[in-house]
């Protein structure tokens, strides 16, 4: 399953909410859709969800155009908007059953699917509770269950973590990881970039409706991180000696002892980290751990965007 966004534009009068963005991602990938407030994320997502029509350009889900064949793409895609369910006098189970019916899933199959969705999203215990009695976190979970009740291959989620407490955020993160592991293609927008860092293997960064970067984290990091960090833990007690040796090596910008590790800052070339490890081993250092912490979206975001709004 491939999602291709091709030169997508959405103008509101003179305001170019989305101005010619193109990117693609595929099954099993979780892509973060990030940008400052008013960047055009929600507008682009609404177009992808067939709620809105683009001024120009198109998006294809498994080859089906969201503009020309919205009915087909809706079957392949689940959309979780940034608003919570508004229905009050209905239980969680009846609510999910309604959406399964709305997708035309017949009787016995519907019962199985709704039950499975409730189990997956951990809603079984509250299936008979009224929606009005749920907390925001629970409602978000119901909203996610609703988006995936027809087992879509693509999930588009607009600010799913907004307003959630830390526990609910962790649970949501785990759910997204599980969905990614099931092979679903997920596009998720959020302001909480540290959260996205943990789960995303790619990102689409936009500002003022224009695409700034799109690709896997490795691709974006290679382009945009001016410096990278390596954590080195020696196997013996030669920590100070290791620190001194590192400071004498080329391409190292800084090195600091942090507990039993040395945190090294080096320039952006990914090959330099490999050379440092080789040199250390040649010099007889016993290395227990040599790792590069995952690039934080926050750093990337700050490097790439300018904070402009239209």
Partner 1 sequence: MSFLASIPEKISDRLNPIVVKELRQAVQSRFVSLSLVGFLAIQVIVITIFVLGSDVSSEFNSGSKIFVVLQGILIGSCVLFVPIYTSARLGAERANVDLMFITTIKPRSIVTGKLMAAMILTLLLFSACMPFMTFTYLLRGIDLPSMFITLTLGFLLVLAATQSTILMATLPASALARVLLGLAVAVGLIYAAFGGAYGLGYLASSGIGSKMQDWEFLGSMALTLLLTAESVGLMMFLSIALLSPPSSNRMMPVRIFITIAWLVTGVIAWIFSDLVLSSVVPMLSWTIIHVSLLCFALIVATCERDKWGPRVLRKVPRNPLLRLPAFLFFTGGAGGVAWSVILLILTFGASLWARDKLPSSFIFSTIYDELGIMLGFVLYAYAYGITAVMVRKIIFRNRIKTSSTWVIALALLALAAIIPVVFALIASPGGIDHFDDDDIWLIGVPFMLLESQYEEKCFAFASVWAALMLIPGTVWLIDRFLAFKPHRTIPPPLPTK
Count residues near partner 1 (CB under 8 A). Answer: 45
Q: Does 68 bind partner 1 (CB under 8 A)?
A: yes
Q: Does 278 bind partner 1 (CB under 8 A)?
A: no
| Count of Cβ atoms closer than 10 Å to residue 171 Cβ | 17
Q: Does 98 bind partner 1 (CB under 8 A)?
A: yes
Of 36 and 81, CB closest to partner 1: 81
Least separation in angstroms between residue 172's CB and partner 1 is 19
Q: Does 166 bind partner 1 (CB under 8 A)?
A: no
When binding is defined by CB under 8 A, the residue of 6, 231, 277, 287 that contacts partner 1 is 6
Q: Show the binding pattern over residues 101-140: x = contacts partner 1 (CB under 8 A), - = does not.
A: xxxx-xxx---------------------x----------
Q: Which is nearest to 255 in space by CA: 267, 269, 243, 238?
A: 243
Q: Does 27 bind partner 1 (CB under 8 A)?
A: no
Least separation in angstroms between residue 27's CB and partner 1 is 11
Q: Which helix (H) or strand (E) holds 276?
A: helix 270-282
Q: Does 70 bind partner 1 (CB under 8 A)?
A: yes
Least separation in angstroms between residue 68's CB and partner 1 is 5
Give CA angle at 28 (203, 215), nearest 5°.
Answer: 25
**Can you say whether the dihedral through the CA atoms of 219, 217, 301, 27 is positive or negative?**
positive
CA 136/CA 88 separation, integer angstroms: 13
Distances (CA, A) of 249 to 71, 236, 264, 277: 60, 20, 11, 11
Of 63 and 163, CB closest to partner 1: 63
Q: Are 171 and 195 in contact (CB under 8 A)?
A: no
């Amino acid at each position: 399953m491939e999602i291709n966004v091709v030169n997508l534009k959405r103008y509101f009068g003179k305001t170019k909410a989305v101005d010619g963005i193109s990117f693609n991602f595929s099954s099993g990938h979780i892509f973060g859709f990030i940008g400052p407030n008013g960047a055009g994320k929600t507008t682009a997502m609404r177009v992808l969800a067939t709620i809105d029509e683009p001024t120009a350009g198109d998006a294809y889900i498994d080859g089906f155009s969201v503009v020309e064949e919205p009915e087909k793409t809706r079957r392949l895609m689940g959309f979780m908007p940034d608003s919570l369910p508004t229905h009050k006098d209905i239980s969680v189970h009846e609510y999910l059953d309604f959406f399964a019916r709305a997708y035309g899933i017949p009787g016995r199959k519907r019962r199985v699917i709704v039950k499975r969705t409730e189990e997956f999203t951990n809603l079984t215990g509250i299936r008979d509770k009224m929606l009005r009695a749920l907390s925001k976190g629970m409602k978000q979970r119901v909203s996610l269950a609703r988006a995936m009740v027809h087992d879509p291959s693509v999930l588009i989620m607009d600010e799913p973590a907004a307003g959630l407490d830390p526990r609910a955020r962790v649970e949501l993160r785990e759910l997204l990881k599980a969905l990614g592991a099931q092979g679903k293609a997920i596009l998720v927008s959020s302001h909480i970039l540290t959260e996205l860092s943990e789960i995303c293997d790619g990102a689409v960064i936009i500002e003022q409706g224009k695409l700034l970067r799109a690709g896997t984290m490795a691709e974006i990091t290679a382009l945009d991180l001016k410096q990278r960090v390596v954590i080195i833990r020696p196997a013996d007690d030669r920590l100070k000696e290791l620190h001194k040796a590192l400071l004498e090596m080329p391409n190292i910008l800084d090195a600091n002892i942090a507990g039993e590790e040395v945190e090294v800052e080096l320039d952006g070339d990914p090959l330099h980290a490999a050379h440092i490890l080789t040199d250390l081993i040649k010099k007889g250092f016993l290395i227990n751990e040599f790792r590069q912490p995952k690039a934080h979206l926050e750093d990337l975001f700050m490097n790439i965007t300018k904070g402009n709004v239209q």
